[in-house]
Amino acid sequence: MNYNEFVDAVMDGVKSRVDGVNVERREIEKLNSRYDGIVVRNNGEKSGYSYDLGDLWNKYKGDNFDRVLDDFLGIVKSFAKKKNEYECLFDYEYAKNRLMMQMVSVNRNKELLADMPHRVIGDIAVIYRVDLGDSTCEIKNDLMKEYGIDEGILYSDAMECQRRDCPPVLRNMAEVMRGFGVHSIESPLWVGMMNRDMFGAACVVFPDFLEKVSEKLGGNMWVLPSSTHEVIFVLDNGVYDKDGLADMVRVINGSEVAEQDFLSDSVYYYDCENEVLRVA
């Protein structure tokens, strides 16, 4: 079968084998990209589960349809069982204790950001998510309106939540590389991240963290937006310059960073005297 026939068969399979759900196909906009998606919602509920039909199609090309459909139905049924947990998204007293921040590219996500509470730092922006344990949910304007709050409150609560649950941390690049089995002497590069495995570039939102990093390194710093998951700090001691660092960022982004994790090709600079982070 061709792609469209495959999509119709998947949607028919969900409708016929999972009770109490609505199924639709639509284009889903996500960070740095968009995809042809299938959206499954429990009847009468606002929240839903979306999945990339292109990913399902690729699995089908290397497998048989029944097995691909069975695997996907397992995901759908798992979502249906968690309906009460997902509906809690609309209760801010629940959500405020599970807030996360993520840094994203402004230039690659203009349409998405227009529908989301955010704040801009140069050519990157802070957005907000709710941690559901095995997944996260972006907070869009309609959900913030449901909460009855504004972006300022969301920002303040997210800062408090992340300070408590996963504060920013600093590691030398040599320590990070040892985690991958590569041993080296201490590096002039320092990696900033949050104390978890995702969205670590949000560490730059914390003024006191930037101040502590600057104190440890010994002055003004170059700040490289490595990906949505981490940033790199380099002391401005005359060894590095903006153009050389910009070339390094572009090369790494082009060869090492996954499309969905791209953050910026810009080099940032932290002025420790004025405690300001800006595009260099």
Q: What are the tens digits of pLDDT across the range 218-258?
A: 999 999 998 999 999 999 999 999 999 999 899 988 888 88
Looking at the structure, do residues 206 and 124 belong to the same domain, yes or no?
A: no
Structural domain that includes position 72:
3-88
Looking at the structure, do residues 270 and 181 belong to the same domain, yes or no?
A: yes
Looking at the structure, do residues 128 and 146 belong to the same domain, yes or no?
A: yes
Where a domain ends, among 140, 165, 190? 165
Looking at the structure, do residues 184 and 268 belong to the same domain, yes or no?
A: yes
Looking at the structure, do residues 115 and 35 belong to the same domain, yes or no?
A: no
**So what's the pLDDT on residue 163?**
95
Q: Which residue has the tokens 């963290």?
A: 209
Where a domain ends, among 165, 194, 214? 165
**So what's the pLDDT on residue 80?**
66
**So what's the pLDDT on residue 89?**
83
**So what's the pLDDT on residue 83?**
60
Domain count across the chain: 3
Count of beta carbons in the 10 Å neighbourhood of residue 166: 19
Looking at the structure, do residues 21 and 53 belong to the same domain, yes or no?
A: yes
Looking at the structure, do residues 214 and 257 belong to the same domain, yes or no?
A: yes
Where a domain ends, among 50, 68, 88? 88
What's CA 37's distance to the chain center, in Å?
A: 19
The secondary structure element, H or E, covering residue 126 is strand 124-131
CA distance 98 to 136: 9
Looking at the structure, do residues 149 and 206 belong to the same domain, yes or no?
A: no
What's CA 211's distance to the chain center, in Å?
A: 24
Looking at the structure, do residues 269 and 197 belong to the same domain, yes or no?
A: yes
pTM of the model: 0.82
Looking at the structure, do residues 133 and 178 belong to the same domain, yes or no?
A: no
Residues of the chain with pLDDT under 50: none
CA distance 158 to 132: 15
Say if residues 42 and 83 touch (Cβ distance below 8 Å).
yes
